[in-house]
Structure 1
């Protein structure tokens, strides 16, 4: 889930940068790779007596459990998982700035979030590691800042798309042939659900706020690479009419047209899943964490019977991918060469001999085309795997700063901001953080 707080994280990152400048380990240890002398990694070499620490978010502390136990058994090393209190993206930079640092850590491998932990000063570069060339094209594009790799990609990025209730669609007379190939067609589908059933077209979670960003995000998929490149150089702005119009269309054509459930201002993420399952709404636009909610409560067979998924963009039937903190694992420069090499070995083990066992245990798609995705995943998951290769990134994967669009959209639905004011607030925050990061052009 993309709930990064850039301004707060920036403050922490600034403190971290100052710490890194005075830290004798920040720019020395782990830089053997600059001279081309990086040692080759044996994933199962003995590491008796070596202890590594790995930071995770509170809700993902068990995500690496299988690989940690397998690695410890294979090598004799110890890997201690430590949960950092929420908000993870805010508290990690603060903790690092205090001088504490782990050997390994989950971190979102996007250009908007990876910079918060000052990768050039603090992380081992992972270019040329044995697993890098095995990644799928989309996964391989993540974890890179200024041409250098700082994150191993261990899980596929979340997919953004439409989850739908099959019974509601059947009542509305909607078949796969009716699946939309544009955002306008998606809205028309929502209207059909409202007209022909007693369900709402969409469920919007104004109470939790963060899911509000997705309806706007889908409408920005026609913006090309140059637009995003210019945005990142302060040559384009979030106040561009295409952004304002996307916010306006969401306000008028979806919310204002009555296509959302009545309590959309107070709706929640968990309520979203319950409402879709019960058939109280026809569709939910959200990322893979929404699916994880359902998988935690229902069997694959139950899900396949009731819930479907399809991709959609502004003018095509393609999906969007959204990096999150469980996708990437980074390794820190600690000044202890033995632990640094052990951290690299852990990543080589994770994405090497253990990877098939890991994804089977986690029941998740594979990031390596040569390693098949496990059997038994819901049809929704299979559809997302199929859509990933042609998917485009959400703005967190394209913009150098990820503004809190959801907060400004929440202001709009409560009548505190107009669409133009939403776009201006996004731009103001984006420029403020980019300038503080010394981004060129700001």
Structure 2
């Protein structure tokens, strides 16, 4: 279930969204033109295939294609509507926010369905509420309420199983070193890693050259603390990155590197190197998100992946998974002031999550999040194991903190020997405090 956030945290998050939009385009209109028509349309849900002849809506997305292309084509054929794709170049989120700030608003857009990213779009002013969406009761309860909210209002449709931080492991390497039971705590995982190292193997494969994967080892250690309100404390200025448990997690990561538990090229290895090393058995484990599986699926089929790799969630004290939904997992519908277009946008969401959903997940090789729609045969067991962890999960820093400082960049500097754990924590805290202060957060 999603974590409840305090009123103070939500107010600050809303301020964060305003600050982001102001930064992206000073002087832009921060609210949509939606008036009474938009509010009326919020309660209108057409049948999935109702006639929309003559209606044109826009769909905002990144440069990459995917199973949504098929959904858009099918929706047009079934309803007579026209959907125009609007492509925003990378950095996708920043460019879409800039358009919204100037009033250039699409009808639909792929978007990261976390509270912080929804407030960046000023959801109450700019997005249609989806609380009464007709497909919600058919969704897997473990996923339905995991993201998509600002305060108690749902503003994003979760359309695929959210990304999760976890440990991918090579089955043959585990067998080679006599590891027959999966670790149940961080310390148990380190014991297994040391067993592998003592036998001459490489325990972990890191992608320091890509930088962004460095944060997972730290964030996964914070799962229980996040369940206990860590990020609310950070948001309020009551706990800093320089305090326990965050500095402790950074220090533990440094210790893992110092022990030699990682690949020799950890500082330069790319993300593609990381997946290749793991799959080839040149390393036992990789701490990663769903992106690693997506990368492997471009090269291997489901059976090859399942024969080679397994996956497990891990946290400091147990097996609590840490979720980090991305913009492939969510879609938002904007208030435009045009009741017909708003209803059409919502109808597309209904079509996607009902009539078209079996085809959508088949085309994408995705785990189903609709209870009466089975997983496609092409979905690896690995993906199903990842999705199953969502029932015992907590949000990431990106999901629950009011700002997203450059933790991963600072951790990459740690790998390069340019920073100590204390310097990483201090630099990250300083940036977080500056962002929070600019947003008007109390305690900074």
Same fold (TM over 0.5): yes
**Alignment partner, residue 71 of structure 2:** 67
How many residues get paired? 427
Q: Which 10-residue stretch deviates more, 375-384 or 43-52? A: 375-384
**Alignment partner, residue 266 of structure 1:** 268
TM value normalised by structure 1: 0.91
Q: Which runs of 5+ in 2 are unaligned?
A: 1-15
TM-aligned CA deviation for residue 383 of structure 1: 1.3
Cα deviation per residue 1:322-381 (whole Å; 9 max; x = unaligned)?
110111101111222211110011111111221122112211112223333223321211
Cα deviation per residue 1:248-278 (whole Å; 9 max; x = unaligned)?
11001x1000011111111110110111111
TM-aligned CA deviation for residue 45 of structure 1: 0.5
Cα deviation per residue 1:275-303 (whole Å; 9 max; x = unaligned)?
11111111111011100111110111211
Map 1:33-182 onto structure 2 (within 5 A).
Answer: 38-59=43-64, 61-135=65-139, 136-175=141-180, 177=181, 179-182=182-185
> Structure 1 residues 401 and 71, CA, compared in 2 at 3 Å: closer, same or farther?
same
> Structure 1 residues 266 and 81, CA, compared in 2 at 3 Å: closer, same or farther?
same
Query: SS at 2:254's partner residue?
Result: helix
TM-aligned CA deviation for residue 420 of structure 1: 1.7
Cα deviation per residue 1:18-47 (whole Å; 9 max; x = unaligned)?
5234x66056551236xxx72232111001
> Structure 1 residues 283 and 10, CA, compared in 2 at 3 Å: closer, same or farther?
farther
Mapped contact 1:124–1:331 kept (Cα < 8 A): yes
Distance in 2 between the 1:168 and 1:251 partners?
24
1:246 equivalent to 2:255? Answer no
**Alignment partner, residue 3 of structure 1:** none
> Structure 1 residues 112 and 8, CA, compared in 2 at 3 Å: closer, same or farther?
closer
Mapped contact 2:32–2:103 kept (Cα < 8 A): no
Cα deviation per residue 1:226-259 (whole Å; 9 max; x = unaligned)?
333222222222222211111011001x100001
Aligned counterpart for 1:204 among listed residues 194, 206, 226: 206
Aligned counterpart for 2:301 among listed residues 299, 302, 308: 299
TM-aligned CA deviation for residue 225 of structure 1: 3.4
Query: SS at 2:374's partner residue?
Result: coil
> Structure 1 residues 385 and 235, CA, compared in 2 at 3 Å: closer, same or farther?
same
> Structure 1 residues 186 and 194, CA, compared in 2 at 3 Å: closer, same or farther?
same
TM value normalised by structure 2: 0.90
> Structure 1 residues 249 and 118, CA, compared in 2 at 3 Å: closer, same or farther?
same
Distance in 2 between the 1:146 and 1:16 partners?
26
**Alignment partner, residue 5 of structure 2:** none
Mapped contact 2:185–2:318 kept (Cα < 8 A): yes
Mapped contact 2:17–2:122 kept (Cα < 8 A): no
When the two chains are superposed, the root-mean-square deviation of aligned CA atoms in Å is: 2.2
Q: Which 10-residue stretch deviates more, 274-283 or 109-118? A: 109-118
Query: SS at 2:245's partner residue?
Result: helix
Q: Which 10-residue stretch deviates more, 262-271 or 160-169? A: 160-169
**Alignment partner, residue 370 of structure 2:** 368
